[in-house]
């Protein structure tokens, strides 16, 4: 057998021994979280290559891995089993699509993730809502273009957006919507930003919003609406929480999961989404609503439609006007 053949046989045996040693090193790392198959293969290959380079430098040391090298391989493996920082984290996912039954008009699919850098552009007749990480609802009207800069910052190129960061005022996390005319940052609230033709309008339904524009800063409270336009004074007016200008955002509200929830929890959600005050005809009715559990689904129902659907299966009835929703029981409703 010539030297070339001997060398090839040594290479085959060495490769087998390297694979066996790499496998043993990985086992020594202990249990680990599941990772994607392609990522695991890349990690395994990186360790194999490092082992190969090490042994090729001194083939006489093939059977004895220095302790320092073994420790290095194990540490490298432990680091690589974490999600790589280069892999983007989802900022949230699509929660609702208007006119979702007509799938030929849009590529938006409920459950799809959005990432930093994404530019979302909605059709002229289709809005969507996105559930952001941290229980924040971002609703994007039809005919809108918005860029997701990062987890808590967005640039509204044109159109209108509505943000609901929950009813926890002064929470740690805030979101900022930028436009060419200025920026709006929420302080635990429901608010909208409209931008079109170099004109920005910020309206606050609940809570507070800090607005910065042209080196000036303003604070908008619930009921305030401010309009900014280059070369013009800021315009101020008032808007009620139940004003018709909020209806588009209400129609895009993510569905409330009513399964095993109390009627009171559902009614509070519906009241907040519609901007109407929740009223009970008596304390007994209020207490009964707190004790009543509800089941089923209101998927793709607007808040108003959901109230009709849910209450029709209970002993409760309701009356609604422009400003309030009054809950009664079936006897009182007659």
**100, 242: one domain:** yes
Question: What is the pTM assigned to this prediction?
Answer: 0.70
Q: Are 211 and 188 in contact (CB under 8 A)?
A: no
Q: What is the pLDDT of residue 240?
A: 97
Asked if the structure places residue 300 within a domain, the reply is: yes
CATH assignment at residue 269: 3.55.50.30
**226, 104: one domain:** yes
How do beta strands 293-294 and 235-238 pair?
unpaired
Q: What is the pLDDT of residue 99?
A: 74
Q: What is the pLDDT of residue 19?
A: 55
Q: Which of 222, 147, 214 is nearest to 191 (CA)?
A: 222
Q: Are 98 and 253 in contact (CB under 8 A)?
A: no
Query: Got the DSSP string for 29-48?
Result: T-------HHHHHHHHHHHH
- Cα 117 to Cα 91, 204, 214, distances in angstroms: 10, 27, 26
Asked if the structure places residue 180 within a domain, the reply is: yes
Domain count, the chain: 3
Asked if the structure places residue 157 within a domain, the reply is: yes
What does the H/E/C string look like for 178-232? EECCEEEEEEEEEEEEEEECCEEEEEEEEEEEEEEECCEEEEEECCEEEEEECCC
Domain boundary residue, one of 187, 213, 248: 248
**261, 140: one domain:** no
Cα-Cα-Cα-Cα dihedral of 302, 303, 307, 313, to 10°?
60
Q: What is the pLDDT of residue 328?
A: 96
Total Cβ atoms within 10 A of residue 74: 16
Helix (H, G, I), strand (E, B) or coil at 175: coil
Q: What is the pLDDT of residue 61?
A: 38
CA 55 vs. chain centroid, Å, equals 48
Domain boundary residue, one of 58, 80, 102: 80
Asked if the structure places residue 85 within a domain, the reply is: no
* CA–CA gap between residue 316 and residue 67 (Å, rounded): 73
Query: Got the DSSP string for 245-259?
Result: GGHHHHHTPPPP--T
Within the chain, which residues score under 50 in pLDDT?
1-12, 14, 22, 24-36, 38-40, 42-44, 46-47, 50-51, 54-55, 57-86, 104-105, 333-334
**100, 131: one domain:** yes
Asked if the structure places residue 21 within a domain, the reply is: yes
**259, 243: one domain:** no
The model's pLDDT over 273-283, given as tens digits with 9 standing for 90+, comes to 999 999 999 99
Asked if the structure places residue 87 within a domain, the reply is: no
Q: What is the pLDDT of residue 247?
A: 96
**227, 130: one domain:** yes
**122, 238: one domain:** yes
Beta strands of the chain (E only): which ranges?
A: 92-97, 113-114, 119-121, 128-132, 136-140, 145-150, 153-164, 176-179, 182-196, 199-213, 216-221, 224-229, 235-238, 261-262, 277-280, 293-294, 316-320, 324-329
Q: What is the pLDDT of residue 88?
A: 79
Domain carrying residue 278:
255-333
**62, 125: one domain:** no
Q: What is the pLDDT of residue 52?
A: 54
Q: Which of 248, 305, 223 is nearest to 129 (CA)?
A: 248
Show Cβ contacts of residue 50 under 8 Å, excluding neighbours closer than 6 positions: 72, 73, 76
**Letter string b/e over residues 223-247, b meaning 16 or more CB atoms within 10 A of that residue's CB:** ebbbbbeeeeeeeeeebebbeeebe
Q: Are 139 and 249 in contact (CB under 8 A)?
A: yes
List, in sequence order, every residue forming a beta bridge with 319; answer none if it has no partner. Answer: 326
């Amino acid at each position: 057998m010539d030297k070339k053949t001997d060398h090839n046989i040594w290479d085959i045996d060495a490769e087998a021994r390297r694979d066996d040693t790499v496998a043993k090193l990985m086992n020594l790392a202990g249990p680990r979280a599941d990772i994607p198959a392609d990522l695991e293969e890349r990690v395994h290959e990186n360790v194999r290559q490092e082992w190969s380079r090490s042994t090729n430098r001194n083939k006489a040391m093939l059977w004895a891995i220095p302790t320092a090298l073994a420790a290095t391989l194990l540490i490298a493996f432990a680091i690589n089993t974490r999600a790589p920082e280069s892999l983007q984290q989802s900022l949230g996912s699509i929660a609702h699509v208007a006119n979702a039954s007509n799938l030929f008009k849009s590529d938006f699919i409920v459950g799809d993730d959005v990432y930093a850098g994404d530019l979302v552009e909605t059709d002229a007749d289709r809005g969507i809502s996105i559930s952001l990480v941290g229980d924040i609802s971002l609703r994007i009207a039809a005919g809108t273009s918005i860029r997701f800069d990062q987890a808590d910052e967005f640039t509204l190129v044109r159109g209108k957006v509505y943000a609901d960061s929950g009813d926890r005022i002064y929470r740690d996390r805030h979101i900022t919507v930028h436009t060419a005319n200025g920026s709006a940052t929420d302080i635990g609230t429901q608010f909208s930003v409209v931008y079109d033709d170099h004109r920005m309008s910020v309206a606050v339904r609940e809570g507070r919003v800090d607005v910065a524009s042209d080196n000036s800063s303003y604070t908008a409270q619930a009921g305030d609406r401010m309009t900014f336009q280059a070369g013009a004074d800021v315009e101020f007016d008032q808007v009620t929480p139940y004003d018709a200008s909020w209806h588009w955002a209400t129609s895009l509200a993510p569905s409330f999961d009513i399964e095993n929830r109390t009627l009171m929890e559902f009614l509070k959600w519906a009241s907040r989404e519609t901007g109407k005050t929740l009223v009970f005809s008596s304390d007994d009715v209020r207490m009964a609503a707190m004790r009543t559990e509800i089941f089923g689904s209101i998927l793709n129902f607007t808040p108003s439609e959901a109230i009709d659907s849910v209450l029709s299966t209970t002993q409760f009835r309701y009356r609604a006007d422009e400003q309030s929703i009054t809950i009664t029981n079936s006897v009182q409703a007659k």
